[in-house]
Structure formats: C-alpha cells, structure tokens
Amino acid sequence: MKTLVVYYSLEGNSKYIAENIKSYDEENITLLELIPVKKYPTGAVSKFFWGGKSAMMGEKPELESYSVNLSEYDRVIFGFPVWAARFTPPLRTFIDENRDALEGKKIAAYACMAGSGGDKALSKLKEELGISEFEEQMILINPKENDNEENNKKIVAFCEGLFT
C-alpha cells in the first residue's frame, strides 16, 4: 500500500514527524511538503498575528508548484501545526486543488501543537474533507523538542495502526 504524507510545517515539528513516519517504510511512503508562495513570518509576535489571522479567515494561500499523482497512492496522511485551533491554511489549498483525486482514499492525520486545540483542528479537517473519521489520528506536543516517551508512544501507535 502506497502512502503520501502531505504536510505543512512553519517551525519543523510537522516536518520532523513526516520524516519519522517515512522511516517506517521508506519504499512505500512519499513526503510532500506544502510551501506557500508568500511565506508566513517566523517572528515571535508576527507569526501568531499573520498565521492566526490566515487560519481564522480560512485562507487558501497560493502554493509553490508541486508534482504529485494522487492515483498512485492508496492513503494520504495530512500533517500540520495547529494554528488558532485550526488546521493550517496550506492544507486547505491542497485539498481544494485535489478534491476529486482525494475521493475514496484512506485518510489519516496528525497535528502538532503547543498546548490545545488539536481535536478541534482535526474535526475541522474532517469537515473540509467531507469524512467522518480518520483511519488513524494523533496529536503531539511540539515533538521536535519533546522527544519524550508520551510522544514516541503516540507515533508508534499511529504507525503500527497504519503500517502493520
């Protein structure tokens, strides 16, 4: 079964998890990083203002061109940082651009966050995709800097649920 991990990451956590997932089955898992043409700022205050506003307004930022043939994949895993208790806008653009091709795929998702809002963000992503459940889902607290047992257990359970 071929899996595509589609993710956006501003500060590396969601990317770190995408790479971790890929290490479970290098041959059958492909990563696609979404990169907005207009970058979100990373400044301590400006990132919350611009990113939060974009997420709350449900924006669909233009993405740098990407090449993917979704028909090659049975499963898509979406990964993202939680912004204002929502999934991040680049995913909205991707879903909008690939809605028909996503139809009928197995869909899983993970959210990285600092404290709260992950459940709501995952629910909103389900709504956007028009599905009632994810095949697997997980919420991780800043996993790049928290290489702890709690996060590691969640990653193992998520990957074993999907890949074994």
Ligand X SMILES: Cc1cc2nc3c(=O)[nH]c(=O)nc-3n(C[C@H](O)[C@H](O)[C@H](O)COP(=O)(O)O)c2cc1C
Q: Using CB under 6 A as the criterion, which residues of the chain lie in contact with ligand X when the complex forms? A: 9-14, 47-48, 51-52, 81-85, 112-117, 142
Q: Which is nearer to ligand X, 129 or 139 (CB)?
A: 139
Q: How far is the CB of 92 from ligand X (least distance, A)?
A: 14
Q: How far is the CB of 127 from ligand X (least distance, A)?
A: 17
Task: Name the closest residue to ligand X (Cβ).
Answer: 51
- Cα 32 to Cα 97: distance, rounded to the nearest angstrom: 14
Q: Which is nearer to ligand X, 72 or 149 (CB)?
A: 149
Q: Which is nearer to ligand X, 4 or 79 (CB)?
A: 79
Q: How far is the CB of 118 from ligand X (least distance, A)?
A: 7
- Sign of the dihedral defined by the CA atoms of residues 21, 108, 111, 31, in that order: positive
- Cα 82 to Cα 12: distance, rounded to the nearest angstrom: 13
Four-CA torsion 147, 145, 155, 48, nearest 10 degrees? 160
Closest CA to 129 of 152, 159, 99, 153: 99
Q: How far is the CB of 13 from ligand X (least distance, A)?
A: 3
- Cα 159 to Cα 29: distance, rounded to the nearest angstrom: 11
Q: Which is nearer to ligand X, 112 or 138 (CB)?
A: 112
